[in-house]
Structure 1
């Protein structure tokens, strides 16, 4: 689950769009508009109730680290993987304390990636939720594991030192750290696979449509187009594939074939 940034409309914020995105296939499954950030959880509930999520893992940012939402995900036969930040202060504090305790055993997985002029090292560490205070973890439905991710990055041509970020996640997945690391990576990929495509390829940020339902409706149309132009249907990038479809009846016909 993810959300589109709001836009100013007459001094007030326009509606926020909460998206349901299948990271593995880069397909937008649905969206719903809410009036404010406080309504994002309600938007996520609407999407989860309208999509068959049984057997899937639903990831989301810290705005969705909500007791009721987690319980709904479990009741639908799915698992959750959700970022943990300050809004869940007690659980975050307990997680930091456990990961800082060297006496507690942790599953660890490390990976280094280079490319596009950058080097990134990621260290994933996992502890079972039973290692945390039960009074803190009990409200979180079927909480199985807590994960710490340490990301070290540098631009190889310009920097010698690495910048470091540490992120935390909670999950109902009862799996090893290697498998959960893949899910976390897919969660991060939403930024590039969805938001980057909408903002850069479809120039959503430059759109001046802000009144009524215009922005929401156009966002939906862009996602439908993005699904047809998804990587794998064309060797070209989405931007080139979009241009070819605009000038070729044959190419448009090929895209719409199921």
Structure 2
């Protein structure tokens, strides 16, 4: 079932006497336009005007193409939770059985903040790194932070058998318990927000007794490129005795991990960074498996957040009122997933958006629709 079909289940927030255009037609045009390069409501309306005859094959247009004011007004009124639910159902259908590493991370939509507003819209996303799939997203409440949004997002997902990676803000007992209960493993970045555990783990790896013998529990790798050399070494260790009492309150916790990153860049002094992680993976898990999951976490930045900023121009999108920023963000993420899922051409996301605008047959292919 295509995303356009899922959008038909969303209730219209407008009263009957004010409706001139079908809600599903407005959302379909907005999605098509976003795929084809539109970045705002004005461009959505222009796309519709230029392709009205083509659009009429798939959606009802009794009053023609909505104006840009209509797009803006409807997106402000539309319940973003309803759109998010429809998108989630489609993403679950696309993803199927999720495997490998799933990275959870947040991103602010900078263009959604204006004047003295306290903060911009902040979205937490789940990214299946090995599959290159967006699994879901959740808005962070304006008066809260990612700690409350991550459990809500996890409730929407089926992650049994996956390794879930989260940065330090998600290193919380309640999140570890939720993942463990649902059959997922975790690798959580440990920093000073968990002061006692961080100090104990740091001391553990800082003493000779903290070194992990055996080739299966240590791993090293080197990277060269972009004018720099980087060496990374990984150590996986059982829970230190000094951490045993605290670890009992972390469901599934089985090991601690140290990562040392040494970087040498031309004309700059060498840098040395040490990171620590809490993990439910057994201490005898080969360190290269743990290393792959830790590295994979950054794909949510490189493949999702970077694409939203550069290819989808998310931070340049000026939308501030009501549900508008959230709904536009959801449309961009769905469009990005469609573009990334297409393997028929070996070009970047920006080029695919242009192709979709130039070639309506390609746009139909992305949408999964036919006559």
Confirm or deny: 8 A CA contact 1:3 1:16 kept in the other structure.
yes
Matching residue of 1:238: 349
Q: 1:32-111, aligned counterparts within 5 Å?
A: 32-36=138-142, 38-106=144-212, 107-111=217-221
1:132, distance to aligned residue in structure 2 (A) = 4.2
Within 1, Cα distance between the matches of 2:184 and 2:351?
37
CA 1:247 to 1:232, structure 2 compared with 1: closer, same or farther past 3 Å?
closer
Residue from 229, 239, 260 that aligns with 1:119: 229
Q: CA deviation at 1:231?
A: 6.4
When the two structures are superposed, what TM-score results if normalisation uses the length of structure 1? 0.92
Structure with bigger gyration radius: 2
Q: What secondary structure sits across from 2:340 in the alignment?
A: coil
Unaligned runs of 5+ in 1: none
Instruction: For 1:142-157, list aligned pairs within 5 A.
Output: 142-155=252-265
- Go from structure 1 to structure 2 and tell me whether the alpha carbon gap of 1:31 and 1:185 turns closer, same or farther (over 3 Å shift): same
Q: Could you tell which deviates more after superposition, 116-125 or 221-230?
A: 116-125
Q: How far 1:160 moved relative to its partner?
A: 5.9
> Per the alignment, in what secondary structure is the counterpart of residue 243 of structure 1?
helix
Count of aligned pairs: 256
- CA drift of 1:130 comes to 4.2
Specify which of 360, 363, 371 is matched with residue 252 of structure 1.
363
1:62 deviates by 0.7
What RMSD over aligned residues (CA atoms) do the two structures have, in Å?
A: 1.9
Q: CA–CA distance in 1 between the matches of 2:305 and 2:317? A: 14
Map of 2:119 onto structure 1: 13
Q: Secondary structure at the match of 1:230?
A: helix
Alpha-carbon distance in structure 2 between the residues aligned to 1:177 and 1:37 = 39
**Unpaired segments of 5 or more residues in structure 2?**
1-103
2:125/2:136 contact within 8 Å kept? yes
- What's the CA shift for 1:78? 0.8
Of 316, 319, 322, the match for 1:209? 319
Q: 1:109 to 1:126 in 2, by over 3 A?
A: same
- State the shift of 1:86 in Å: 0.9
Q: Is the CA contact (8 Å cut-off) linking 1:16 and 1:37 kept in structure 2?
A: no
C-alpha contact (below 8 Å) 2:224/2:230 kept by paired residues: yes
Quote how far apart the aligned CAs of 1:232 are.
Answer: 6.1
Instruction: Return 195-204 or 111-120, whichever deviates more.
Output: 111-120
Q: What is the CA–CA distance in structure 2 between the aligned matches of 1:12 and 1:5, rounded to whole Å?
A: 13
Question: Equivalent of 2:132, from 23, 26, 38?
Answer: 26
Partner residue of 1:218? 328
Instruction: Please identify runs of 4+ aligned residues in structure 1 that moved more than 4 A.
Output: none
| 1:217-252 Cα deviation digits (max 9, x unpaired) | 111111111111116613101111111111111211
Q: Which deviations, in whole Å up to 9, do the C-alpha atoms of 1:40-74 show, x marking residues without a partner?
A: 22211111111111111111111111111110111
The answer to whether 1:4 aligns with 2:107 is: yes
Confirm whether residue 171 of structure 1 aligns to residue 274 of structure 2. no
Of structures 1 and 2, the one scoring higher in RCO (CA 8 A, sep 6+) is 2
Conservation of the 8 A alpha-carbon contact between 2:167 and 2:188:
yes
